Structures are given as C-alpha cells and as structure tokens.
A and B are shown apart, each in its own frame.
Chain A
Amino acid sequence: MELQLGLSLSTTHNPIDGSDINNKEFDPKEILSLKPWSHDYGCLLDKKRSFEDAFGKLKDASQTLPLLLWSGHPNDEDDDKREKKRLSCRLSKIHEEVLEEDDLVVGWPPIKSWRKKMLRQRQGGDRIVKNRVAAAADGKENNGGSNSMYVKVKMEGVAIARKVDLRLFHSYQTLTSSLICMFDKSLQLEKDNANYTLAYQDKDGDWLLAGDVPWQTFIVSVQRLELLKNGG
C-alpha cells in the first residue's frame, strides 16, 4: 500500500486544517533517500530553486503544537497521569514542579533544572541561612518569625517524602495526627494506622523519638521527621 502523507506543500502543517490535501506533488516514498545527499553536487544548485518552489516557505514559524507543560499545572484531565507520576517522583521533583510556574515556555531559557533550583533557593535561602546563623550566634533565639520552617517527612514504607511547615503546629499530637492524615490522603494505609511513632533527626544528625523534649526545643533542633511503624 502506497504511503501517502497528503501534505499540502504550501500551507503550514496545521493538523486541524483539513483543506487542500494534495497528494500528487509529494510522495514521501519517492523522496525517501537511502543515499546521503552530497551538498557539494553542482546540480544541487540547479535544484535549489526547484527545491524552494516545491517545498515553499512556511508562512508562520510558530505554527507548531501548543507547548505542553507536562511537569506542571493542575489539570483535572491529567489527574490519573499526574498521580502516577507523583508516585514515582522524588520529593525534589515535586518541589521542582511547583517551581516551574515561572516558566512561560517549557525549558526556556535553557538552564539546567538544578541551576534553576539553586537560583530560587538562593533568593529564599538568604533569609534562612542568615537566621540559622543568627540562631547559632545568639543561642536559642526565636528564629520562627516570618520564616516558614519546612522539614522533610518520611513515612516508613512509603517511597515519597513530604514537606511540612512546622510553624503550623503547636504540639507533638497535632503534628503527628496531621502527618498521618497527610500520608493517608494519597495512599491506602493498612488498618491500625494509628500505630505510628514519630522520630526526628536533630542538628547533630542523631535520630531521636519525638516527645522527650519541650516543643520549643524540638522546633529549633529538628532537621527531619520520620513516621515509624509500631511493632516492627
């Protein structure tokens, strides 16, 4: 069966435009060339004009597909797909998806994702670094203030971690139950889902059980959280 692309030679490649499909002038099988075309062939110069005649010029360079923001915006139709993506995503990718809002065109300007992340962290990071330094210098100074205090939370047995803003909580209980709710929303937890223990990693890198120190002390030293299943 002859393959006919039916491309009209002088119009744009607009998929919606069904008019004027002219099969005669362009049979791709005829022009599919299995030998390399030598640019230096003298006859090419003769052919050049006819090449232009035959292929014409596209009217509008921007007649291409709409750019899909695959990494991006909330879109009800794509919920299933996005859910799948999230389940195999790393936290840093999730964070990155949020950051993509600034991009008017996907992947433009061509800056590596890692560098873009660094740029944004730099803008927000100044405050956080300064406050950490201030806290260290001044002892246990209140460095909550207007900063958010995002820490990573991992639930044992769950691939993706989350982030929470500790400023939003006032006690271990509210924190733990909110965390369980948060993980519950996207996953089917097993029965007895109340049997989780909250552990945290402090400034020195040690893992401790949450609840032993006063909340305020905990807030200042916590770096990371993990929900551990009870009973092994």
Chain B
Amino acid sequence: MLRMASSFPEEVLEHVFSFIYDDKDRNAISMVCKSWYEIERWCRRRIFVGNCYAVSPPMVIRRFPEVRSVELKGKPHFADFNLVPEGWGGYVYPWIAAMATAYPWLEEIRLKRMVVTDEALELIAKSFKNFKVLVLSSCEGFSTDGLAAIAANCRNLKELDLRESEVDDLSGHWLSHFPDSYTSLVSLNISCLGSEVSFSALERLVGRCPNLRTLRLNRAVPLDRLANILCRAPQLVELGTGTYSAELQPDVFSSLAGAFSGCKELRSLSGFWDAVPGYLPAIYPICPSLTSLNLSYATIQSTDLTKLVSQCQSLQRLWVLDYIEDIGLEALAAFCKDLRELRVFPSEPFAQEPNVSLTEQGLVSVSEGCPKLHSVLYFCRQMTNDALATIARNRPNMTRFRLCIIEPRAPDYITLQPLDDGFGAIVEHCKDLQRLSMAGLLTDRVFEHIGNHAKKLEMLSVAFAGDSDLGLHHVLSGCENLRKLEIRDCPFGDKALLVNAAKLETMRSLWMSSCSVSFGACKLLGQKIPRLNVEVMDERGPPGSRPESCPVEKLYIYRTVAGPRFDMPGFVWTMDEDSALRLS
C-alpha cells in the first residue's frame, strides 16, 4: 500500500512545524491526516486552554507529551466585577500536580483568573528544573510564602509577573529569597503587592540582573528610592514606579530626572500612585520615546495630564483616569498620532454627579485625530447616537470597543432615545470588530443590528439591555464568530437559548446572571447537549427546591470534552443526565 506520509521523513515535517506557533495553525496542521496529527502532537510545545474546565489535565497530557509552555484561564470574566461568588472554582493545583510528573521540562505557566495556592507554587518550584516564566494575572489564593518558594528555587527564572492578583501579603521578605547567585531576571511585576520589600535586596537584585527589561514596582517603594533603582538598570524598557509622591526637594528631583534620562531604552511607564505634579517633569526627557503610558492610578488633573501627553508623540497606548477630561483628549488627538489603544477609567465611579468634564466629545476627538486607534475602553456619564455614529465613521478599523456609561440604561442625553442606532453604526462600519461592550438604554433593535452586521464579533458584554428573547436570539443566530457572551440583568429567558442551543457548542462560554432563564430550561439544555456543562449558581439553595419555572440566579454554560466537574462549591449545580436524580 502506498504510504504518502513516508514521502517526507518525520524529522523534516517536524522541522517545518517548528516554525508554526499559532494555536489555530497548529490545530489545522493536526487535522490534515493521521500521521501529521501524530507528528504535530509530539512537537507541540505550547498550549492554550481558554477554559480550564473544557478539557482535563490527563487528556491534554495524553495528546501532547512534550509541552514546555502552558496557558490556562479559569473563572468567567464577570468574576472581575464580583459576580462570581468565592469558591466557584478554577483551581490550578490539579493541573500542576499532573504536569509535575508529565512535563518535568515545563518552562512557562501563564494563568488568568485561577485559584493558585502556596502548595501549587511550591510544587512548581520543586518540579520544574528549567522553569522560566510565571505569569499570574488576576489570580488569588496564594501568599508571599509561595512567592518565596519560587524565588528560592527557580534558578533559571526569567519572568515573575503578578499582575492584578490578590496576594495574601504576609511580608516583603520573599524577595530576599532570590539567592545572590541568581542573575537571570528579565521581567518582574509586583505592582499588586502591598507590603514593602527590602529595598536593599531589591536594589541588589536589580543590579545583578543585566537582562532586566521590565520592572513594575509596588506602591510601597517610595519615590526617593526610585533613582537608585533606575541607575542600576539603565537598560530598562518597561518601568512601573512606586508611589510618585514626595515633598518637593531639588536634590530628589534632580537625581530622579537624571536617572530617567539615563534610561535610553525606556518605552513604557506605569505606577504613578498618588502622583504629584511637581515630579512629573522628571520624565519629560523620555516622553517623546514612550509608546505606553499607564496613568490610571495617578491623581493628576487635566492641565498636568495635557502637558504630559502633548510630549508623547510616539504614544501607542494610554490608560488614564477621567481627570484628563475632554480638553486633555483633544490634546491627545492633536499630538499622539500613533495612538492605538485608549482606556479612560472613572475617578469617582460611585459619585452621583460628574466630578470632571469628560463627555462623549473627548472620545469623538480622539477618534478623529488618531487614525490608528482600534481599541477603546471608555467610562463616561453621557453619550449620544450621533457621537457613536461619528466615532464609527471615523474609525472603521476599530476592533475592540467597550463603552460604559456609569448610569445603567442611560438614553441619548439629547434626544432621549435609546442608543440602538449609535451602536448599530459601530457594528455596521467597524467590520473587523472583535470585542464589544455596550452601555446605556438599549432595546432589541440594537441586537438586531449586531446579529446582522457583527460577523467578526468574538466577545460581547451586555448589561441592563434588551426587551425580550428576540434580542438574545438575534445575537446567537447572527454572530457567526461569537465565542464568549456575557449578559447580566437583561430580560432574556428560555426561548432564545433553547432555539439556539446548538450554537452554544460552538462557543467557549455563555454567562447569564439576573436574567430570566428558568431552572427547567437549564435542565433541558444540560440533559440534551452532552458536551456542554450547564452550571447553575444559586445562593438561595438547590434549584430543585423551587418551581421549574423559577429563574436561576446565575447561569454559566461552556463547552467541554471533560464532562461535568466535581470541584464545585455548594451553590453550583451541573445540569446533566444525572441531575434529575441528584436534584430530586
């Protein structure tokens, strides 16, 4: 029998495959034929699991025996906003335990929204001899003791990034566990930690790691120590300052300014907690070469912010508080022609009245002036359909558009109409839109626009919107590339879900909370569609104790090949074939 596969020796194919990194491409390769599947699986080095419950560790290990880099995501996105109760899940320990034996040469672990314990960190530290990269993004469950284990044992560690994780901060001593012989640090992000690390230990660490390019300090590092640190790392590319506040003292200022000037490679700045305007000029010399600036913790007002951004002609990414106001955004539009991403956060999100003059006009200005702008997150207090339509026409290259109007269900403040047409314009003009979060008063019509136009949309977030199931039906039936849908406080019930049940298997996940999906519909979905986990979260007690027509509090549906999970807390139930028995 003619064997086509043997016309190319395996080694050659493997060599060719080694140039292919993208997951989707790798998946495509593996589907060409059985022998390509076999070759590919033995040489895949990096895996990404977007939902840690979609597959089990043994399944992954069985298929891919030689992995060096793992990325896992746990909790649903709405966990960021406290909508997922504590104890829901997302535990990484079972993965680490399985990989400890299967992947002794594992080098990289990247986790997002997972529960990571000290035991897990200790296991990592002791199991992987060539461990290099640990990124814990929005994780929780571990303390600085776990970090100490990593610091003490991972001789080849290059990257330790704790971005936005909740760490039980017992002391800053863990940093001192990096041995004196350790010099391989490339990236360190401890900005989420509260306690002080030993400054001398930090300075020595920085001084002996010549490849250090990213250093994000925490708030506890005072401004007068920053210059010393910078002087030891003039090769830094990315810096997060500590507290950027001190009494104005000329010698502190001049050493700081000198230290910044010495950092010729610096392209990204963040930190700036409690920033005082007096010290901002210290960074002016490097502003023209900055590509990324995160001022979202800086309490500086629009005049100083305007002066600052006006000097950042190379800026590509700006994160800032709404202190920048419309006037600062106009300056941004005028001076920062390379801007690609803008995020404006609210300085006083819970105040009833606006505290700053930031309106829809600011965003319109930036959309006009910055031709490369494609990613927006904007918190404001008023919006109009006209403004949204203008933004859409200005920026058809928009790929991520997230708007939040502080007041739920706020209409167009001039016409008092819903914002359906404004968002309709966004999806109509921005044909490559991948991510959308909507805000304001919205009827079923906006969902009709989305279903009709948003063909590349992958992630949609909806809150306090819509009138009926028709809205949800438009989205589920129209958005061909939809992967993640998260909905809260919308009057969507059973029908749209049941009619579009098959769609759910083509998506990563669906979250619905405070909607009108009944327990009965959840059971039906769970029973009928085997490769979905339909999880009901209800802190009122077992859903079976209420009528079947009763809406569930929270619903999380995700596709999986691993079957129902067994690490759920008491307030989560999986609907499947057995649920009828278990819940009665």
Q: Which residues of A contact B (CB under 8 A)?
A: 3, 5-7, 12-13, 15, 21, 26, 28-29, 31-39, 51-52, 55-58, 60-65, 67-68, 70-71, 81, 85, 88-93, 100, 102-116, 118-119, 121-122, 125-126, 129-130, 133-134, 137, 152, 154, 161, 201, 204-205, 223-224
Contact = CB atoms under 8 A, between A and B. Distances in A.
Nearest to B537: A70
Contact of B379 (A62, A109, A121): A109
B494 A7 contact: yes
A108 B524 contact: no
Contact of B553 (A36, A68, A161): A68
A39 B451 contact: yes
Interface residues of B, number: 99
Nearest to A103: B350
Contacts of B171: 201, 205, 224
Given A6-B548, A114-B192, A52 B470 contact: yes
A54 to B, nearest CB: 8
A34 B502 contact: yes
A154 B349 CA distance: 33
A143 to B, nearest CB: 14
Contacts of B502: 33-37
A92 B166 contact: yes
A133 B252 CA distance: 13
Contacts of B551: 13, 15, 64-65
B66 interface: no
Contacts of B467: 57-58, 61
Given A13-B518, A88-B86, A107 B78 contact: yes
B297 interface: yes
Interface in B480-535: 488-491, 493-495, 498-503, 506, 514-516, 518, 520-521, 523-525, 528-529
A5 B196 contact: no
B86 A85 contact: yes
A93 B273 contact: no
B245 interface: yes
A29 B529 CA distance: 12
Given A103-B350, A107-B81, A111-B345, A32 B501 contact: yes
B168 A91 contact: yes
Contacts of B234: none
B299 interface: yes
Nearest first, the 10 A-B pairs at minimum CB distance are A107-B81, A13-B516, A39-B478, A39-B477, A15-B550, A5-B520, A58-B491, A205-B198, A64-B514, A37-B477
23 contacts: A3-B524, A13-B518, A15-B549, A29-B524, A37-B473, A39-B478, A55-B470, A56-B468, A58-B491, A65-B553, A71-B85, A91-B168, A106-B83, A108-B463, A113-B80, A114-B138, A116-B349, A118-B273, A119-B348, A121-B219, A126-B245, A205-B198, A223-B195
A161 B176 CA distance: 22
Contact of B503 (A36, A58, A64): A36
B550 to A, nearest CB: 4
Interface string B368-391: 000000000001000000000000
A36 to B, nearest CB: 5
Contacts, number: 227
A89 B86 CA distance: 8
Contacts of B547: 15
B349 A119 contact: yes
A133 to B, nearest CB: 6
Given A90-B166, A112-B138, A7 B523 contact: no
Nearest to B407: A109
A93 B494 contact: no
A110 B463 contact: yes
Contacts of A114: 138, 164, 166, 192
A172 B297 CA distance: 37
A51 B518 contact: no
A64 B491 contact: yes
Contacts of B273: 118, 122, 125
Given A51-B473, A122-B299, A111 B81 contact: yes
A5 B548 contact: yes
Contacts of B176: 205
A34 B547 CA distance: 26
Interface in B145-169: 164, 166-169
Given A118-B273, A161-B168, 9 more contacts: A33-B499, A57-B467, A90-B141, A109-B406, A111-B349, A113-B166, A114-B166, A137-B247, A224-B170
B82 A106 contact: yes
Contacts of A70: 82, 85, 539
Contacts of B451: 39
A36 B506 contact: yes
Nearest to B489: A64
B99 to A, nearest CB: 25
A224 B524 CA distance: 54
Contacts of A205: 171-173, 176, 196-198
Contacts of A57: 467-468
Interface in B97-130: none
Nearest to B500: A37
B243 interface: yes
Given A58-B467, A61-B467, A93 B528 contact: no
Contacts of A65: 514, 551, 553
Contacts of B56: none
B524 A133 contact: no
A65 B514 CA distance: 6
B476 to A, nearest CB: 8
B274 interface: yes
A126 B245 CA distance: 9
B279 to A, nearest CB: 12
A33 B274 contact: no
A60 B493 CA distance: 13
A60 B273 CA distance: 44
Nearest to A72: B82
B546 A15 contact: yes
Contact of A6 (B143, B495, B549): B549
A203 to B, nearest CB: 8
B495 A31 contact: yes
B81 A112 contact: yes
B280 interface: no
A219 to B, nearest CB: 17
A88 B87 contact: yes
Contacts of A115: 296, 345
Contact of A110 (B80, B192, B501, B525): B80
B383 to A, nearest CB: 14
B568 interface: no
Highest count of chain B CB atoms <10 Å: which of A6, A56, A64, A92: A64
Given A64-B516, A122-B273, A71 B196 contact: no
Interface string B192-217: 10111110000000000000000000
Highest count of chain B CB atoms <10 Å: which of A35, A61, A224: A61
B385 to A, nearest CB: 20
Contacts of A51: 470, 473
